[in-house]
Amino acid sequence: MVNPHFVEVNIPSDPVFERVVRAIAAEVGEALCFTDERVDDLKLAVSEAVNNAIEHGNKNISSKPVEVVFALDNDKLEVRITDQGEGLGSNQRVDVWDRVRVVEEDNLEQGLLRSFGMSLIKALVDDLEVNSSQKGTIIVLRLYRKGQTE
Amino acid sequence: MSDVVTREEFGEVVVLHIKTNSVDAISAAAIEAACVDMRPITVLNFKDVSFINSAGISVLLKFVVKARKAGYKLFAMNLSPHHQKIFKMVEMSRFMPTIEEHDLAAHR
């Protein structure tokens, strides 16, 4: 595989279709001969990014599509997830990069049971880029192949 | 009780067998519905589960909250190695430690 190969899909902003993207991610990971664990990591990272795009980017407006592009080359898999939202505010940008979210007793008491997605993505992929503007947010996940295939 | 979660009770124990392979935003409501009648020892059996994302973790935390309020013990059983890793990442395993099937034998 010398030149990049692309798999592209556009889904409505409905969580049902996240499962479709997840299934594609699994097939792509297997096609790249990723280990089973690496495929599981890929599926979860893509799931979180797509759900963020659906819920926080496109606000669950099903007519707004989420675009997902898998770019495969010799060295890596790059997954680009694009929503059509209004972008991240400055507080959210800090949150995306700095917060490491784990289950904490205080949060349980207050009923704060969500927001683990970005922490998981950061832990599961090799590289993460977030580019946001008033036209939407693009999240790029990169998983390198070296030492991660079977 | 839905098809998504089946219930098995013995003594102080209830085992909630999660029958969907995906614990996510789609299955969350059906799984949460099983949170209503927990027992002093409540075990979530993940044998049939191949995928859990953060939306799934959020619904599992509702079991954690309810168990803590009632003073019940909550365990996870048959978690895959991948999901054990994810639970450690978010420190879920502190609140829902794993248990083996043979550990339940004394309660049967």
Domain ranges of chain B: 5-107
Domains of chain A: 5-144 (3.30.565.10)
So what's the pLDDT on residue B23?
97
Which of B24, B46, B53 best probes binding to A when mutated, by most A CB atoms within 10 angstroms?
Answer: B53
DSSP chain B: --SSEEEEEETTEEEEEE--SEESTTTHHHHHGGGGS--SEEEEE-TT--EE-HHHHHHHHHHHHHHHHHT-EEEEES--HHHHHHHHHTTGGGTS-EE-GGGGGGG-
Residues B49-67, mean pLDDT to the nearest whole number: 94
**pLDDT-based confidence at residue A113 (cuts at 50, 70, 90):** low
Q: Calculate the average pLDDT of chain A.
A: 88
Q: Which residue of B has its CA nearest to A111?
A: B65
Q: Does B88 touch chain A (CB under 8 A)?
A: no
So what's the pLDDT on residue A48?
95
So what's the pLDDT on residue A1?
56
Residues B49-72, mean pLDDT to the nearest whole number: 94
pLDDT in tens, A11-65: 999 999 999 999 999 999 999 999 999 999 999 999 999 999 999 999 999 999 9
Distances from the Cα of B28 to the Cαs of A18, A66, A102, B62, in angstroms? 14, 22, 20, 10
Residues A2-8, mean pLDDT to the nearest whole number: 82
- Which residue among A15, A51, A123 places its CB closest to the CB of B89? A123
Residue B12 · residue B41 · CB < 8 Å: yes
Q: Report the percent of chain A where pLDDT is more than 70.
A: 85
So what's the pLDDT on residue A91?
59
So what's the pLDDT on residue A87?
87
Looking at per-residue pLDDT, the higher value among A2 and A53 belongs to: A53
So what's the pLDDT on residue A137?
94
Looking at per-residue pLDDT, the higher value among A116 and B32 belongs to: B32
**Which pTM does this prediction carry?**
0.90
So what's the pLDDT on residue A106?
72
So what's the pLDDT on residue A15?
94
Contacts of B1 (CB under 8 A, 6+ apart): B7, B33, B34
Report whether pLDDT(A111) > 80: no
So what's the pLDDT on residue B14?
95
Contact between A43 and B90 using a beta-carbon 8 Å cutoff: no
Residues A77-84, mean pLDDT to the nearest whole number: 97
CATH, domain B5-107, list 3.30.750.24, 3.90.1170.50, 3.40.50.300, 2.40.10.10: 3.30.750.24
Q: How many CB pairs under 8 A join A and B?
A: 67
Q: Does B21 touch chain A (CB under 8 A)?
A: no
